[in-house]
Amino acid sequence: MTIEEEIKLSIRDVANFPKDGIIFKDITPIMMNPTLSNKVVDHLVELYKDKEIDLIAGIESRGFLFGYPLAMRLGIPFVLIRKKGKLPYDKISHEYSLEYGTASIEMHTDAISKGQRVLVHDDLLATGGSAEAAAILIQQSGGEIAGFNFLVGLNFLNGKEKLLNFSHNIINTINRVKPSSSSPPPSPSPYNTVPRRTAQTGKSSYRT
């Protein structure tokens, strides 16, 4: 079984979280499987070990889960991009739209130096709002976008289109297609130790 297949089997859909109509892509079953988690990090290292990257920026909070281990394995710094009010030092911020409201992210002013090449990492690419906001913060600090990496890409939401303005190096480990009301329910994951909650099909809003 490929790493892509293992990840697909592990991710579960949670309906109506964090709001009604949202189908949330939950990667916590991966975290409960240390063997698979290590495979994910190994896969990411292979992708980027020979690339010109000076820093990795992870978007709160699931962007920290694999972004930080990847940075440590590559021997480069890791930058935290956090929700408003979570960082203690001088910071810059950017507000962006979600499908269920607005959000603001922040980054320390001394996190990135001019000309440094930064890989942006998060667990999910949906509408692209949070990744686009992160790229704007990085550019405001003088950094360059070396690329974007996501565990899951929801291609039907076209988030990639927002990011092409910053880099054409956009990699999703797996891609999801839009669920159909006639599609059968997903098979239970062998890695899920918590019972799967059935996602409601026909609702096509997702976390950005």
In the set 12, 62, 176, 207, the catalytic residue is: 62
- 170 dihedral zone (left: phi>0; alpha: psi -120 to 50; beta): beta
Q: DSSP string spanning 73-103?
A: HHT--EEEEEETT---SSEEEEEEEETTEEE
Q: 119 exposed, middle or buried (CB, 10 Å; 0-12, 13-18, 19+)?
A: buried
Q: Cα(104)–Cα(109) distance, rounded to whole angstroms?
A: 16
Q: Cα(121)–Cα(66) distance, rounded to whole angstroms?
A: 8
- Mark whether 99 is an active-site residue: yes
- Mark whether 62 is an active-site residue: yes
In the set 99, 144, 196, 197, the catalytic residue is: 99
- Which residues are catalytically annotated? 62, 99
